[in-house]
Structure 1
């Protein structure tokens, strides 16, 4: 039975390879690499400290630190909750640490919200919703602004209504990982993870390529849940990856995790 560390190592190596050569991205967008930075956020249940976040502007496949940092990020005996992302910046968006994923914001009640995203939101519409002043485009990408808007409207958790509202601002797609970290009396109390896939069909002869590019897989077994891109699963699949099932377009999974015990519940949301 493979351990989470064995599975994780295979997924990380698959991500590095996929970021260097993404055949699905080449087919749909003419871009074969995710070269505009990378990052991760990680926490282990039962650990009283805050989540660990790291971001770099270097391509993950050229950054000499990426294997060392990623392979050393999991410490402790609790449940590992983690999001890792390699960015391919949308045209016209800034390439800076703020816009490198995971992007970060806080709610009005002090909870933390991290987001990784593949696709694009209508940045200007979200900026108008937030009443941002001129000049935001030089500093913030669409994902940062989307996460800022989401964090500003959620209460003690992200609801299906919150997600549906956010998807109303999608331009091309929203393959999303959203991590909400909640605190009580200064300590981690609960973690919510929302992950799933949605993309807009354009009826331009490329919808088959969109299906391939945005397809997200849920790989589960032996107490392990991994969500991975179609490129990782279909081109660079790790040997120890559990059984993988593709999510439907508009399907998201919401996990509520006890930050002390690691016990969780999962809901399936299907939006269109």
Structure 2
């Protein structure tokens, strides 16, 4: 399991939320591993003077050991983004290549995707591919978008189709097209039978203002009481 933050903001990203995110990656009281050190990354869409620009960054270093100046310097009229800190499940799927958010093109869209949790490889048509289950989750979304050019329905179809195979599908998809602009979708689901081996709080997602985040960020932030609707998708 990893830690995730998705948000929609004006002017600049909330510094207290960022601090809570870094702290949650450094030490996670809900995680049996206690840390999320296996790389991190972000995708930020910024609107200035009526035009959108993107800032995309991934690193194999832990977020709590990396330089955050690029992230903290971002300013704009509107800001949407996803930030992700990773705890790798398999040693051979580590490094920059496997840091989230992943990027892909599908139809008219740029898609950026981050996922917390695991999906059984039996859910995929080609389970032996040297990709993370999260990246194959994105490839399934790409396939659906390519067929329908409907990014909302494609995410929902994919999200629902993997529920029976997943420990967790907590995930965020940022899409952008010239015609529609940016949209963030956040899916919230975990297998409650598997959660008994952990603190169930570890799996939960919360919303505060226009920030959606993993439970450990709530733990450090201390001011988010609204859990997302279990098994559903919200839009930012």
2:232 corresponding residue in structure 1:
251
Q: Match for residue 141 of structure 2?
A: 150
Equivalences for residues 83-98 of structure 1 within 5 A: 83-92=82-91, 94-98=93-97
Q: TM-score, normalised by structure 2?
A: 0.84
Match of 1:270 in 2: none
Residue in 1 that maps onto 2:75: 75
Unaligned 5+ segments in structure 2 are 1-8
Give the structure 1 partner of residue 213 of structure 2: 228
Spell out the pairing of 1:114-263 with structure 2 (5 A cutoff).
114-126=112-124, 128=125, 131=126, 136-137=129-130, 140-154=131-145, 155-159=149-153, 161-168=156-163, 170-184=165-179, 189-202=180-193, 205-206=196-197, 209=199, 211-220=200-209, 225-234=210-219, 236-237=220-221, 244-255=225-236
* Cross-structure match for 1:110: 108
| Aligned-pair CA distance for 1:249 | 2.4
In 2 relative to 1, CA 161–59 (structure 1 residues): closer, same or farther, beyond 3 Å? closer
2:166 is paired with a residue whose SS is strand
Partner Cα distance (2:115, 2:51) in 1? 27
> Of 4, 19, 25, which aligns to 1:13?
19
CA deviation after TM superposition for structure 1 residue 244, in Å? 3.6
The one-character-per-residue Cα deviations of 1:229-249 (angstroms, maximum 9, x if unpaired) are: 111112x116xx6x5411232
- Do 2:13 and 2:72's aligned partners in 1 also have CA atoms closer than 8 Å? no
From the superposition, tell whether residues 83 and 161 of structure 1 become closer, same or farther in structure 2 (CA, over 3 Å).
closer
Q: Offset at 1:124?
A: 4.8
Residue 83 of structure 1 aligns to a residue in which SS?
strand
Q: Is the 8 A contact 1:36 1:87 kept in 2?
A: yes
- What SS class does the counterpart of residue 36 from structure 2 fall into? coil
2:58 aligned residue: 55
Task: In structure 1, list runs of 5 or more residues that go unmatched.
Answer: 256-272
Q: Which residue of 2 aligns with 1:24?
A: 30
Identify if the C-alpha distance between structure 1 residues 49 and 205 changes in structure 2 by more than 3 Å, giving closer, same or farther: closer
Q: How far off its partner does 1:37 sit?
A: 0.3
Displacement of 1:213 in angstroms is: 0.5
Name the CA distance, whole Å, in 1 between partners of 2:52 and 2:10.
Answer: 21
Give the Cα–Cα distance (whole angstroms) in 1 for the partners of residues 83 and 161 of structure 2: 21
RCO (CA 8 Å, sep 6+): is it higher in 1 or 2? 2
TM-score for the superposition, normalised by structure 1: 0.73
CA distance, structure 2, for counterparts of residue 205 and residue 15 of structure 1: 25
Deviation at 1:145, TM superposition (A): 1.3
Which is greater in Rg? 1
Deviation readout 1:31-64 (Å, 9 max, x if unpaired):
000000000000123553442110000011111x
Distance 1:125 1:203, change over 3 A: closer
